[in-house]
Amino acid sequence: MSTLRYRLTCLLALLLLTSPAQAQWHRLPFQTMGTEAYVELWAEDDAKGQALLHGVQAEFERINQLMSPYISSSELSLLNREAAARPVTISSELYQLLQQAEQLAILSEGAFDISFASVGFSYDYRQQLRPSITELTEQRPLINYRHIQLLADNQVKFARPGVKIDLGGIAKGYAVEQAIGLLASAGIKHALITAGGDTRLLGDKRGRPWLVAIKHPRKTHDIVAQLPLTDSAISTSGDYERFFIEDGVRYHHILDPKSGQSPSGLMSVTVLGPDSTRADAMSTTLFVLGLQRGMVFIEQQSDFEAIFISSEHQLYFSSGLAQ
């Protein structure tokens, strides 16, 4: 190699080593909380971007370990095992989420109710199992958010034996919101995090809005709309994610606390708003309330909008989106 070429090569290597890491998009799909999740972020520094992707994944897993009903060491499982017998002390993080769930239960007059699980745990959508009439009659009165007593010092007590809770209607949204908070405090300005039907956007997609699709509730690969959004949360609840059909009846994973059975008026509801925790819980709430009562409810929530798809395949928009 000539001396000149050798010198040029050395110079190039030096430049590569000392030039600042390239700003770029970083992406990571992963599995968490029984669903597909995805994070995409813009970072000025390559190593920082990669580290944050894994930070997001770890945050989901941390919350899963705390709140999953399938993990016997989770605080949620501990409550379901012991809170009927004695007050159980939990982390202030879970306690605060239970408070948020309670607020929405009160606001929705019990349409959102995490004690739905008192009946909900008798359904198994994979095995196509549902409670018998006798079980339903027995367990239905156990669904009542008032049975969940939030006591002083992060203690929780269930008023009756048999009461069970599950955070499937709010925990994913909460995790998405926490993970976005983590990115924001690390200085990230542009990011998208999605888990199942819950998506949260930080900033825009560098000069243009993010595009978030609303799935077609019956055609798996089709979408009904694509919304250009920045800095907001969007959550969809549908009757098509976990369900089975028996004798023409669709049994799906959202339950009306009043009946212990799946509501049938809607196929999906999408909620848009400023934060994922509430957007997630509110989409489940609106699904239970149905079109008429759901529309009245969402119109009363400033900052939140909704798109309903009825069982007749009709789209309905709340007033803030009507244009």
Edge-to-edge strand ranges of the sheet holding 233-238: 24-32, 35-43, 191-195, 198-202, 233-238, 266-273, 305-310, 315-317
Among Mg ion, ligand ADP, none, what does residue 114 contact (CB within 5–8 Å per kind)?
ligand ADP
Minimum distance from residue 287 beta carbon to Mg ion (Å): 8
Record the tokens describing residue 70, joined without a space: 């399938």
Minimum distance from residue 284 beta carbon to Mg ion (Å): 4
Q: Is 241 one of the binding residues for ligand ADP (CB under 6 A)?
A: yes
Record the tokens describing residue 137, joined without a space: 């009659």
Site for ligand ADP in 122-161 (CB under 6 A): none
Minimum distance from residue 208 beta carbon to Mg ion (Å): 28
Would the annotation count 280 as a binding residue? yes
Record the tokens describing residue 128, joined without a space: 């196509």
Q: Is 277 one of the binding residues for Mg ion (CB under 5 A)?
A: no
Alpha-carbon distance 88 to 151, whole Å? 9
The DSSP 8-state label assigned to residue 323 in this structure reads -
Interface residue with Mg ion among 40, 75, 275, 280 (CB under 5 A) is 280
Q: Is 291 one of the binding residues for ligand ADP (CB under 6 A)?
A: no
Residues present in the chain in total? 323
Q: Which is nearer to ligand ADP, 49 or 273 (CB)?
A: 273
| Composition of the chain by helix, strand, coil, percent to 5 | 40, 25, 35
Among Mg ion, ligand ADP, none, what does residue 40 contact (CB within 5–8 Å per kind)?
none
Q: Which amino acid is at 206?
A: R
Alpha-carbon distance 174 to 53, whole Å? 18
Would the annotation count 9 as a binding residue? no
Interface residue with Mg ion among 284, 289, 297, 305 (CB under 5 A) is 284
Q: Is 283 one of the binding residues for Mg ion (CB under 5 A)?
A: yes
In SS3 terms, 274-302 reads as: CCHHHHHHHHHHHHHHHHHHHHHHHHCCC
Record the tokens describing residue 15, joined without a space: 């430049």
Give residue number: closest CB to ligand ADP: 168
Minimum distance from residue 196 beta carbon to ligand ADP (Å): 4
Minimum distance from residue 284 beta carbon to ligand ADP (Å): 4
Contact residues for 246 (Cβ-Cβ < 8 A; gap 6+): 128, 130
Q: Which is nearer to ligand ADP, 187 or 274 (CB)?
A: 274
Alpha-carbon distance 110 to 116, whole Å? 10
Q: Which residues bind ligand ADP (CB under 6 A)?
A: 112-114, 116, 166, 168-169, 172, 196-198, 237, 241, 253-255, 257, 280, 283-284, 288
Q: Which residues are annotated as a binding site for Mg(2+)?
A: 169, 280, 284
Q: Which residues bind Mg ion (CB under 5 A)?
A: 169, 237, 280, 283-284
